Structure formats: structure tokens, C-alpha cells
Amino acid sequence: MTSSDGSTPSHPQQAATRLVTAGRDTKAQKGFVNPPVFHGSTVLYPTAEDLHAHRAEFTYGRHGSPTTRALQDVLMALEGPPCAGVGLAPSGLAAISTTLLAVLKTGDHLLVCDNAYRPTRNFCDNMLKRYGIETSYFDPLIGAGIETLFKPNTRAVLIEAPGSQTFEMPDVRAISAVAHARGALMIDDNTWATPLYHRSLEQGVDISMQAGTKYIGGHSDIMFGTIAANAKAWPLIQEAIRLLGVCAGPDDVYLALRGVRTLSVRLAQHHRSGLEIARWLGARPEVDRVLHPALDTDPGHAIWKRDFTGASGLFSIVLKPVPQTAVDAMLNTLTLFGMGFSWGGFESLAIPFDCSDYRTATKWSPGGPTLRLHIGLENLDDLKADLDRGFAALKAAL
Ligand SMILES: *Cc1c(COP(=O)(O)O)cnc(C)c1O
């Protein structure tokens, strides 16, 4: 292994180090640590012969620049040895749609876990359906039992571990083993844990996607997606990216590169703060239960412990039954927890959710109002004080 400054480290570097060192070519940047933001479409060729042969390090803006290459190098290092390539997309959803278009064709069947991100379902139920591709949804806790849902034309399985609202934890290893035995590709939306805490490509996943909008960016200021694939799947992803013209804007690519350098410290803090607030909420009389796979009381805990090395700051709570007006009074009182979609930034968020009307393979009836929380990087006592005031407002509204 050779590091970017040409020296050979004496032992394999840890992920936190690779996040800092990968993708750096200071000589090419005249000594500066970071590459510039290359804004570019046209790349000029020095001679007609070079032009005819497409002979150049970079050939066209859509196909990459030194900025995109630096980020791809970091993401490759983050994913580890099974990763044969990483594609960049303009959003997390674009990473998902590009992946599905890359691996599926008319007449194929796709299996998707019932707790998948809702826009993923919308893509399957509308666009894939229009192209003659059938999607079936499955219970995320099905494990090896997924075997019975396979058809001769099942081409791929898509999971989210854990689902980003309800946090059921699928058994990625068991489902992957069945998928591979049946000749299907295994796709994982790895946004929650990132490859830092869930090395999905090493656990049987062929294509690992992330909404880079979340923890890679880390500052709620970009839209971005990544598609990492092993050697078996990368040619399909690479081809789809070329044919579809998928690329990400240079400023967002730069901000993703800037964000990913500090991923390990941010995520460690989200993990710690998330768990502490989850435990604190679990002891509150207003809370029926906390949905967080890193809690040892969670049904998904054994799988989390086996397959993950950390948790992010996103989890949900089920409140004891109260009218929605009381929940809204709580949300309107919180000041540190903002109300808004997305997550993975430095700030805390709280939103109500209800997936009972669109799940099809499982019934979602938690027995009380549900809130999804993102625990940001604020001080924990301040966050608890904010939640205290919120619960007081909830009780006052009863
Ligand atoms: C946010 C999110 C996406 C989509 O990412 P965008 O960048 O918003 O398009 C996909 N999957 C999961 C799990 C997400 O949380």
C-alpha cells in the first residue's frame, strides 16, 4: 500500500487515518492540502492526435475532474478492498434510481424491504413498473426466509439496514447469502451507519449506496449521493452512469470531500450523543419505547452488534398515546430540535412520521404517536432541557 505522499506505511491504516490521507495529491496542488473546485465542461487536447485518441487524464466535465477523483479516492478507501469503484450522483435518490436502472431490465423482478426509504418505493412503483419491472416488498426481519419470495427472474434485493424511520434491522448476511445462491445482486442503502460503521461490501453486499447529503456532507448544505460497488457490479454501475449522464456538481463534490475528512469525529459524537439521549428518553414516562438498534433492549440489537461498529445519531421514539395536537405542542416548543426533513447535519431535528399507509408486506401499528429524532452536535444538557420543555408543553396541551 502506498500513501498519497509516496511513502509506504508499515501497517494497514485505520479508517480514520485513510479518511484524512486518501485522495490527496499535494504536489499537483502546488503544496496546498486540498484540490481546487474544478468547474468545467470542456477539456482541451493539445494535439489533433490526442483528440482522436481521447488521450488525456480528464476528457470531459461529466466524466470527472481532479476534484471528483479526490473524493472518489477517499470513498474507495472508506469502503475498503472489496470496492472496485465509486460513482457520484447528484442526490441520494439519484444514486438509488441509477443503481436500479443499472442492474434491472424489462421482465426482471426486484425484492425491496418494506422499511425502505419512501421515494425508493415511489421509483419502483412508478418508473420501474412502467418499464415492466415488478417489485415485491418483504418484511425486513425475514432473514433467510426471503428464499420463498424468490422467483426465477428475481435479479436484485434492496435493503436498508436499519430503515431510516422505524429502525428494524435486517440480517444483511443471511439475505445476501440467499440472494447470491439465487444469482441475484444485493443492494444496500447504507446511509444510516455509513461504511465507517457498517462495512456492507465485506458482508455480502454487491452495491452499497449512500445519501451523501447526510453524514458525508455533514452540514446540511449539499445534495449528493454515492454508489460503491464490488468487481462483479461495478461495470454495470459505471455503464449506467455514462449512459444516463449522471454526475454531481463541482461545489457539492468539493463540500462532500471537505465533509468526509471529519466523518470519523462527527459520527463518533453522533453515536455517543444519540445513545445518551435515546437512553434518557427511554426512561421518560411519556415515552413508550425507543427504536434504536444500538440499545440492548432493541429487537435488532444482536444483528447490530454482530455487523456494525457504531451507530449514527438518528433514531425514533414511540410516545404513549396522546392526541396529535399535544405532540404538535411539543414540536412547536422545541427550539434546538428543528422540524425538517433530511438529517446527518450538525443540528438536531425532530419530525413526526407514520408509515402505516404505504407499507405493504408488514403492518406498522406502533400504538402511539411516533417521532424521528436526529441528535446533532449540541451540548447534551441543552438538548435534554429542550426536550424537558417540550414534554411540559405536551402535558399542558392534554
Ligand atoms: C435521505 C435519504 C435518501 C435520499 O437522499 P437525497 O440526497 O435526499 O436524495 C436515501 N436513503 C435514505 C435512507 C435517506 O435517508
213 lines ligand 1 (CB under 6 A): yes
pLDDT value for 350: 98
Please give the pLDDT value at position 9. Answer: 56
- Does ligand 1 have an atom closer than 6 angstroms to the CB of 191? yes
Residues 6+ apart with CB under 8 A from 204: 172, 173, 176, 177, 179, 180, 186
Q: What is the pTM of this model?
A: 0.96
Q: Residue ranges per domain, the chain? A: 15-260, 264-396
**CATH topology for the 264-396 domain:** Aspartate Aminotransferase, domain 1 (3.90.1150)
Determine if the peptide bond prior to 369 is cis (ω within 30°).
no
**Radius of gyration of the chain from its Cα atoms, rounded to whole angstroms:** 22
Concerning whether 69 is annotated as a catalytic residue, the answer is no
Ligand 1 pocket: which of 122, 191, 223, 315 to mutate (most atoms within 8 A of CB): 191
Ligand 1 pocket residue status of 189, Cβ below 6 Å: yes
Ranges of residues in the chain with a pLDDT under 70 are 1-9
Q: Ligand 1 center to residue 283 CA distance, Å?
A: 30
What is residue 2's predicted lDDT score, i.e. its pLDDT? 42
CATH architecture of the domain with range 15-260: 3-Layer(aba) Sandwich (3.40)
What's residue 7's pLDDT?
Answer: 52
| Most ligand 1 atoms within 8 A of CB, residue of 123, 189, 190 to mutate | 189
Q: Does any ligand 1 atom lie closer than 6 A to the CB of residue 190?
A: no
Distance in angstroms (rounded) separating the CA atoms of residues 135 and 15: 36
> Nearest-CA neighbor of 155 among 122, 126, 131?
131
CA of 159 to the centre of ligand 1 (A): 13
The DSSP line for 282-328 is: HTSTTEEEEE-TTSTTSTTHHHHHHH-S---SEEEEEEPS--HHHHH
Q: Residue 12: what pLDDT?
A: 76
254 a catalytic residue: no
Output the pLDDT for position 3: 43
Q: Decide: 93 in ligand 1 pocket, CB within 6 A.
A: yes
185-232 pLDDT tens trace: 999 999 999 999 999 999 999 999 999 999 999 999 999 999 999 999
**CA–CA gap between residue 323 and residue 331 (Å, rounded):** 13
- pLDDT for the residue numbered 13: 85
Gap between the Cα atoms of 270 and 346, Å rounded: 9
